[in-house]
Amino acid sequence: MSKMLRNDRLRNIAIIAHVDHGKTTLVDAMFHQSGLFRANQAVDERLMDTMDLERERGITIAAKNCSVVWKNTRINIIDTPGHADFGGEVERALSMADGAILLVDASEGPLPQTRFVLKKALEANLKIVVVINKIDRQDARPDEVLDEIYDLLIDLDATDEQLEFPLLYAVGRDGVAMTSPDARADNLHALLDTIIEEIPGPTHDPMAPFQMLVSDLGYSDYMGRLAVGKIFNGTAHSRDNLVCIAENGRSMPLKVSKLQVYEGMKLVDVDDVQPGDIAVLAGIEDVKIGDTICNRENPKALPRIRVDEPTVSMKFTINNSPFGGKEGKYVQSSRIRERLQKETLRNVAIQVEEVGDRDSILVKGRGEFQLAILIETMRREGYEFCVGRPEAIFHHENGIKMEPLERLMVDCEERFLGVVTEKLSLRKGKMTNMVNNGKGRVRMEFSVPTRTLIGYRDEFLTDTRGTGIMNSLFDGYGEFRGECPSRFTGSIVADRTGTAVAYALFNLEPRGRLFIEPGQPVYEGMIVGEHNRAQDINVNPCKEKKLTNMRASGKDDNVILSPIKPMTLEQAINFIREDELVEVTPLSLRMRKAVLSAQKRHNMRGARE
């Protein structure tokens, strides 16, 4: 057995944190202070969030790579998403890292997503550096947050070695890091020095042949498919003949047409790569995340990246409404299927399954938020299709029906305690913990089935007047907790095709909340509002006022309608029932019945009864 060597000119670190605790802002500051930009260079904020959706929502969706050089050492930084729905991205990112910076908000402390990402980092045996960020907040409580971090690490069975972590305090927005909360600093040098001193360089076996684990995929119009990953052992040169070992052990030959490494946000061409490098390799078409690229003479696969099983599924179908094909560029089932298959190559947490129907395909993922992001991305690319309600994926163990459960953490004002616990008990939730910090706010933990949480987020924000914070995390499978209605109200459904009229909508307002405005086109089976009662109701939103030749004062008063708040994609997906669909086009979002004809729906209901 040859002795393992360490590459001290390199550090591979992942930045892990809960949503909105300041990861991407901190990376920006590291870029500026490592001399990556000229002093007067105009640079965007949140450089790492390159997707439009990430910039709009202020969250990181995909893990990204970049590098900075500090004291002649290249630090490869992997910015990971903080949302548990993008867990597949986190697992990919951690497979490339040797250490992790755990960033925690000085006021909020560790939240469920922090727990999720930290658990993965500990399982991967990474060296952890803890940074308590945003210590300039008025409600900062760094000492209590530090205790909470220790509690979390102990709860996650951290070893004694992992509990002795280096600790720093930071204000990421101002680009400062210090060793104590009261110290003063005007730069991040303490953090960059700590990374080099505390996080080990990547190790490799000098006698082993070349091995690279593919952790990400890219695409270039000039070079085709790009494989991104960490070099575990050996070196490779441009024009080398290598092989790629797939999941089933099949070997595919490849010739390296180009080798690149990260320099800041850019990729630069290199002639060779060393052990520990995060490299981008061109020259193979049929490659998947988790494959190993290695020497032709001595092919040896590395352990594949394993991700948690998906917990939510959603049906994608072609748009067969009367307005189908009017707004989208890609409407055929073959194009939708092709795009979803392409997504599984880039996103290890998404699975696609055939359902026996030529026009439909089942997509499985970690949560409805992850699937909503996929739908929004496809919509912006010009696709037009329909999606069904997200459904939890059940398992059967020893004949017992098991369902996915969520660990839900709720932070709200004391006065909303009653309404939140009442709503969650209706949704089969069980309270497991409650802490009152004595500042008028309480923090509660619940165990809730995944399926009953779908659609609760908007209701929760309404109940807590927008002041509540709710975070959930997959918590394994548990015994099925019984039926629970997904919605307590019915739908107001249009019974004909036409254009909505103000007079008709004014008369429909007492029936419930409307989703459409005058002048909007409607069709039979389209959902135009939410009924006050539990059952559905068919209405005519196109009905015009009868004209007479009689004149009377007050007869021709102008009708004034309540303002309509358009539904977002997530709200629409969460609102629909099992027999309803969301029609998604690049320009519109409409909700509709799966069976459009009112007569057919009536007959089906009669047959069931």
**What is the reported pLDDT for 265?**
63
What pLDDT does residue 41 have?
A: 41
DSSP 36-101: -S-TT----SSTT--SHHHHHHT---S-EEEEEEETTEEEEEEEPP-SGGGHHHHHHHHTT-SEEE
Determine the pLDDT at residue 185. 75
Query: What are the distances in angstroms from CA 449 to CA 456, 464, 475, 588?
Result: 12, 21, 9, 32
Q: In angstroms, rounded to a whole number, what is the distance separating the alpha carbons of residues 260 and 258? A: 7
Q: What's the pLDDT score for residue 339? A: 87
- Structural domains of the chain sorted by starting position, each given as residue range(s) with its CATH number in brackets: 5-200 (3.40.50.300), 208-295 (2.40.30.10), 312-387 (3.30.70.870), 395-479 (3.30.70.240), 491-608 (2.40.50.250)
Is 292 annotated as a binding-site member? no
How confident is the model over 271-325, as pLDDT tens digits?
877 787 878 887 777 777 778 888 877 778 777 776 667 888 889 998 888 888 8
Grouping H, G, I as helix, E, B as strand and the rest as coil, residue 13 is strand
Question: Which residue has tokens 């005058």?
Answer: 518
101 carries a ligand binding annotation = no
Q: Is 24 annotated as a binding residue?
A: yes
23-76 pLDDT, tens digit each:
667 777 776 766 544 343 433 443 444 344 434 444 433 445 677 777 788 888
Looking at the chain, how many residues does it have?
A: 609
User: DSSP characters for 220-284?
Assistant: ETTTEEEEEEEEEES-EETT-EEEEE-TTS-EEEEE--EEEEEEBTEEEE-SEE-TT-EEEEES-
Q: Is 255 annotated as a binding residue?
A: no
Are the beta carbons of 285 and 224 closer than 8 angstroms? yes
Residues 6+ apart with CB under 8 A from 563: none
Q: What is the identity of the amino acid at 215?
A: S
Residue 21 annotated as binding? yes
Give me the average pLDDT of each 10-residue run along the chain (609 residues). 68 76 70 53 40 42 61 78 51 78 82 73 84 80 85 83 84 78 78 84 80 76 75 79 79 79 74 80 76 81 74 88 85 87 75 84 82 86 88 85 85 85 87 78 86 79 79 80 78 88 86 87 89 87 76 60 81 84 89 85 74
The residue whose two tokens read 């102990």 is 154
Question: How far apart are alpha carbons 22 and 46 in whole angstroms?
Answer: 10
Contacts (Cβ under 8 Å, ≥6 apart) of 487: 455, 575, 577
User: How much is the pLDDT for 61?
Assistant: 37
8-state DSSP, 374: H
Name the amino acid, one letter, at 550: M
Residue type at 538?
A: N
Give the count of beta carbons closer than 10 Å to the beta carbon of residue 89. Answer: 27
pTM: 0.69
Q: Which two tokens stand for residue 38?
A: 């000229």
The answer on whether 600 is annotated among ligand-binding residues is no
pLDDT of residue 203: 80
The closest of 306, 319, 455 to 383, measured between CA atoms, is: 319
Q: Is 432 annotated as a binding residue?
A: no
Please report the pLDDT score of residue 43 as a whole number.
38
Those residues whose C-beta lies under 8 Å from the C-beta of residue 422, and which sit 6 or more positions away, are: none
Question: What is the rounded CA–CA span in Å between residue 414 and residue 440?
Answer: 6
**Whole-number Å distance between alpha carbons of 228 and 215:** 6
* 133 annotated ligand binder: yes
pLDDT given at position 437: 67
- With vertex at residue 462, the alpha carbon angle to CA 531 and CA 458, rounded to the nearest 5 degrees, is 75
Q: Please give the mean pLDDT across all residues of the chain.
A: 78
CB-based burial, 45-64: b 16+ in 10 Å, e otherwise:
ebbbbebeebeeeebbbbbb
